[in-house]
Amino acid sequence: MKNLTVKTALFLNYFLFAILLNSVGTVILQMQQNFDISKSQASVLEGFKDLPIAICSFLLASFLPRIGLKRSMMIALALVGIMCFTMPFANAFWFFKLLFCIVGISFALIKISVFTTIGLISKDEKEHSSIMGYLEGFFMIGVLFGNLLFSLFIDDADPKSRSWLNTYWFLGAMALISFFFMTFSKFDEQDAKSNTSDLKNDIRNSIGLFKLRRVLFFLACTFLFVLVEQSFQTWTPTFYKEILNLPTTMAVQAGAVLAGAFALGRFLSGFFSRKLKWIYVVSFCILGFAISILLVLPLTKNISLSENISWFNAPLAVYIFPLMGVFLAPIYPSINSVILASVPKYLQSSMSGLIVVFSAVGGTLGSMITGFVFQKFGGSHAFYLSFIPLMLLLFFAMMMNRQTNKIKK
């Protein structure tokens, strides 16, 4: 298969960072137990992860082709590899702040480089969309695997045990394997570089993206989608715990089921993207998710639970709710693929940076808004509120499709 080594390296990179990025919840819990850190103190780890992603994506996007996409990914893997091999010896909270700061910076390098590389190794828009869908699906598999991996090293009998830090030996080995795959991967990066000879023109070209209507419509789509997705992902365990009154373990497992549903949805998008136009896939998914909210949320009201509740005797709504993620999952890789394929290859790095920045802003606001509505009006109202951004998302997706069709003509 053409570019097999490159594709394998990209998938391994995404898999590794899925584990590292989504381990923050586990680390926050362990910080409280191992180092007697308060919830408010531990919560800053989210900021140490997210802020570097947004800032570095904005600042470095136009520079990465000059550094080299392959070289950028190798730098990111080397940084996280060194930190992972250091973490088993961590004995203070600042180690973990440094870890997530480096993970955030490295992920910015990885995501921009990966998105740009897909454009270089894809022969057409459908192949681009398919690879993107499979890649994002593999990311969600990494989220699932990461939760399982950390749980294997946690000692429930001794809350003060730091045996869970041994997980980082495994993650360091994964970074090393990915680094070697990147070393032996070969692809032509020339098309990702601007024909201009100075950095000033590169920045001017990047800013020029905001003059394109299809880019503005896309950024609106990205912001709105991640706003919905992040609120759904972040608050599903709380919904299960406080609204459905399920045990904490089942609430956490529901989040894992949701990640599995997202993985399935994104793998399916990788398949259907080769068969159907992207706007049909996205429209179907938006409407399917909206309809499923109308059908499923009423089932969560006034449900009766047995004393020994488990996944084997739970009401129907308990199973169905996280499965709605199948509808939501294909939207993000589909719209990302379309916009990246519609801009010149030398601007795809800058475009990838904008994707990361607007995704970070949308995710943060989505989680905050949902949390506020959840606290004031209840969980059901918080999820019903998603109808507003969903309908706006459908509108902007259609406008984006209209503009990209004009470009093709």
Say what the pLDDT of residue 344 is. 78
List pLDDT tens digits, range 250-268.
766 777 788 788 888 888 8
Nearest to 208 by CA among 190, 194, 187, 221: 194
- Residues 17 and 26: their CA atoms lie apart, in Å, by 15
- Residues 205 and 196: their CA atoms lie apart, in Å, by 10
Q: Average pLDDT, stretch 174-179?
A: 94
Say what the pLDDT of residue 60 is. 74
Q: Is the pLDDT of residue 179 over 90?
A: yes
Q: Which residue has the higher pLDDT, 155 or 335?
A: 335
Say what the pLDDT of residue 298 is. 84
Q: Is the pLDDT of residue 78 over 90?
A: yes
- Residues 245 and 48: their CA atoms lie apart, in Å, by 32
Specify the DSSP class assigned to residue 22: T
- Residues 379 and 359: their CA atoms lie apart, in Å, by 23
Our CA dihedral for 372, 57, 13, 274, rounded to 10 degrees, sits at 80
Q: Is the pLDDT of residue 131 over 80?
A: yes
Say what the pLDDT of residue 315 is. 79
Say what the pLDDT of residue 206 is. 67
- Residues 377 and 24: their CA atoms lie apart, in Å, by 28
Dig out the tokens for 354 from the structure. 């904008």
Say what the pLDDT of residue 68 is. 83
Say what the pLDDT of residue 105 is. 92
Say how many Å lie between the first and final Cα of the chain, rounded: 32
Mean pLDDT of the residues in the chain: 81
Q: Average pLDDT, stretch 66-86?
A: 92
What pTM did the predictor assign?
A: 0.73
Say what the pLDDT of residue 33 is. 76
Cβ–Cβ < 8 Å for 333, 133:
yes
Q: Is the pLDDT of residue 229 over 90?
A: no
Exposure string of 296-334, with b = 16+ CB inside 10 Å and e = fewer, is: bbeebeeeeeeeebeeeebbeebeebbbbbbbbbbbbbb
Q: Residue 198: count other Cβ atoms within 10 Å of its Cβ.
A: 9
Confidence band for 91, pLDDT divided at 50, 70 and 90: confident
What would the DSSP string read from start to end of 68-133?
-HHHHHHHHHHHHHHHHHHGGG--SHHHHHHHHHHHHHHHHHHHHHHHHHHHHH-SSHHHHHHHHH
R_g over Cα of the chain: 21
Exposure string of 59-90, with b = 16+ CB inside 10 Å and e = fewer, is: ebbbbbbeeebbebbbbbbebbbebbbebeeb
- Residues 109 and 59: their CA atoms lie apart, in Å, by 11
List pLDDT tens digits, range 92-123.
889 999 999 999 999 989 988 888 888 788 77
Q: Which residue has the higher pLDDT, 333 or 217?
A: 217
Q: Is the pLDDT of residue 304 over 90?
A: no
Share of the chain above pLDDT 70, in %: 89
The secondary structure element, H or E, covering residue 68 is none
List pLDDT tens digits, range 30-63.
787 788 877 667 767 777 887 888 888 777 766 7
Q: DSSP strand E in 219-351: where?
A: none
Q: Average pLDDT, stretch 198-215?
A: 71
Q: Is the pLDDT of residue 177 over 90?
A: yes
List pLDDT tens digits, range 329-354.
889 888 888 888 787 777 777 787 78
Specify the DSSP class assigned to residue 306: -
Rounded to the nearest angstrom, the gap between the alpha carbon of residue 292 and the centroid of all alpha carbons in its chain is 22
- Residues 14 and 103: their CA atoms lie apart, in Å, by 12
Say what the pLDDT of residue 198 is. 54
